[in-house]
Amino acid sequence: MSKPRIVVLGAGYAGMMTTKRLTQKLNPEEAEIVLVNKHNYHYQSTWLHEVAAGTINHNQARTIISDVINPNRVRLIYDSVAKVEKDENKVVLENSELSYDYLVISLGFVTNTFGIKGMDKHAMFIQDIDTAQMIREHMEYQFIQYKNSEEKNTDDLTILVGGAGFTGIEFVGELVEKVPQLCKKYDIDRRHVRIINVEAAPSILPMFDKDLVDYAIHSLEQRGVEFRLGTKINECTEEGFIVGEDNELIKAGTIVWTGGVTGNPVLGESGFELTRGKVTVNGDLRAPGEENIFIIGDCAWVMDEAAGRPFPPTAQAAMQHAETCANNIEALLHNYPLENFVFDDKGTVASLGVTDGIATILDGTKLSGKSAATMKKVVDNRALFLIGGLNMFLKKGKIRPF
């Protein structure tokens, strides 16, 4: 009899951790493990704002998958998933098809524009390595073009960021580090460059207490970020955002939308019932009504029963989903009862550049400044270590001193 085949879709935090744990839990004779990913590399999505600003090189944020996962143990397929045909236990890839006995869908997030007119066409997104690199290159191109143009228009140097959630704030935090470097490189007066963050809500980062939010706003404003809070973006054009009740146009040369994320569109293509783009999974992380399909990471809504709402989509949660998912696949293979996912909240950290940040950790302790920035690096390094061991940590880790 042939071995059961476990297929993991997506090599982000959730997919890499699930694959790694399965290789540790199961004998090679027990099951065939297949990992499918669009590229031959895994990337740290949590570092994409740094790639986008250009404060780290994109190669630091990515790792060749076969350097971390043994290709003799796990079959690695580099291809794009088009859809899952649940009734036939089959995955349709761009270039082939693949059958499965157990399936893990961990295809991550895509940027959500909420249908705002022109956003897809005119704004750039911090979604993956390629889109992040495009932002960095576009921004630098604006500086070069400004430097070399005869009729200088300072609007071309403005960087406009839509949304002041984690991604928007962490991105402007990196920009305040990068912009002075670009000004120096191209001999441009720093005062000509504006970094504008537009947010519909009256404040930023609603998950943090007011004192930490005030700290973050003050720190970023002091370093040159202009906030437009309580200002809804109605439309995006080639020239910038159209905002507020009076439809004011804020012009910019670089327009970045960080207004939210949703689950991978493959979920919809595959006929899963969606809630705001994701699948609300059972306590054991299986898709409703499916015995052999797990949906984890940013593709899943996992309910926080105590709060009556889903947990926010984070790498921290995605890696914990992976542990439960691997345990439950092992349980299915061995006919044990499945376990329910329990989130172990280790806290929340937002960086405000390389040496600044805010954090609420474990027992509610609040941090700001360098200690929070250090905490962020510890969290980043821990994720590298969990996914790729000491080798990946030493190669890619954030171990430089401030």
- Residues making contact with ligand FAD (CB under 6 A): 10-15, 36-39, 42, 45-46, 48-49, 80-81, 106-109, 126, 128, 167, 170, 264, 266, 297-298, 313-316, 318
Instruction: Report the nearest approach of ligand FAD to the CB of residue 248 (Å).
Output: 27
Q: Which does 45 bind (CB under 5 to 8 A by kind): ligand FAD, ligand NAD, none?
A: ligand FAD
Q: Which is nearer to ligand FAD, 171 or 227 (CB)?
A: 171
DSSP string, 49-81: HHHHHTSS-TTTTEEEHHHHS-TTTEEEEE--E
Instruction: Report the nearest approach of ligand NAD to the CB of residue 219 (Å).
Output: 16
Structure tokens at 198: 């537009």
> Which among 44, 62, 61 has a CA at the least distance from the CA of 383?
44
3-state class (DSSP) for residue 228? strand
In the bound state, the residue with its beta carbon closest to ligand NAD is: 165
Catalytic residue among 32, 50, 170, 174: 170
In order of 92, 158, 183, 191, 200, the CA distances from 316 in angstroms are: 29, 33, 36, 38, 27
User: Is residue 173 involved in binding ligand NAD (CB under 6 A)?
Assistant: no
The correct pick among 41, 100, 143, 166 for binding ligand NAD (CB under 6 A) is 166
Evaluate whether 162 touches 232 at the Cβ level (below 8 Å).
Answer: no
Structure tokens at 166: 């984690």
Q: Which of residues 102-121 bind ligand NAD (CB under 6 A)?
A: 116
Residue position matching structure tokens 């595959």: 270
The type of residue at 64 is I
User: Is residue 236 involved in binding ligand NAD (CB under 6 A)?
Assistant: no
In the bound state, the residue with its beta carbon closest to ligand FAD is: 12
Q: Which does 201 bind (CB under 5 to 8 A by kind): ligand FAD, ligand NAD, none?
A: ligand NAD
What does the alpha-carbon distance between residue 319 and residue 144 come to, in Å, rounded to a whole number? Answer: 41
Q: Which does 81 bind (CB under 5 to 8 A by kind): ligand NAD, ligand FAD, none?
A: ligand FAD
Question: Phi-psi category of 347—alpha, beta or left, where left has phi over 0 and alpha has psi -120 to 50?
Answer: left
Measure the N-to-C terminal CA separation of the chain; round to a whole number of Å.
57
Q: Which of residues 334-393 bind ligand NAD (CB under 6 A)?
A: 348-350
Question: Which among 63-71, 166-174, 219-227, 358-366 is the span making contact with ligand NAD, rule CB under 6 A?
Answer: 166-174
Helices 210-222 + 166-186 axis angle, to 10: 20
DSSP string, 383-402: HHHHHHHHHHHHHH------
What are the backbone dihedrals phi and psi of residue 52, each rounded to the nearest 5 degrees, phi first? -65, -40
Letters for 175-214 (x = contact with ligand NAD by CB under 6 A, - = none) are -----------------------xxxx-------------
Q: Which does 163 bind (CB under 5 to 8 A by kind): ligand NAD, ligand FAD, none?
A: ligand NAD
Catalytic residue at 221? no
What are the backbone dihedrals phi and psi of residue 116, each rounded to the nearest 5 degrees, phi first? -65, 130
What does the alpha-carbon distance between residue 215 and residue 208 come to, in Å, rounded to a whole number? Answer: 11
Instruction: Report the nearest approach of ligand NAD to the CB of residue 333 (Å).
Output: 33
Provide the 10 A C-beta neighbour count for residue 57: 12
Q: Which is nearer to ligand FAD, 91 or 160 (CB)?
A: 91
User: Is residue 217 involved in binding ligand NAD (CB under 6 A)?
Assistant: no
User: Is residue 165 involved in binding ligand NAD (CB under 6 A)?
Assistant: yes
Q: Which of residues 261-280 bind ligand NAD (CB under 6 A)?
A: 261
Instruction: Report the nearest approach of ligand NAD to the CB of residue 245 (Å).
Output: 13
Question: Which among 56-64, 135-143, 284-292, 310-318 is the span making contact with ligand NAD, rule CB under 6 A?
Answer: 310-318
Number of residues that bind ligand NAD (CB under 6 A): 25
Evaluate whether 45 touches 315 at the Cβ level (below 8 Å).
Answer: yes
Active site residues: 170
Which stretches of the chain bind ligand NAD, using CB under 6 A? 116, 162-168, 170, 198-201, 232-233, 258-261, 312-314, 348-350
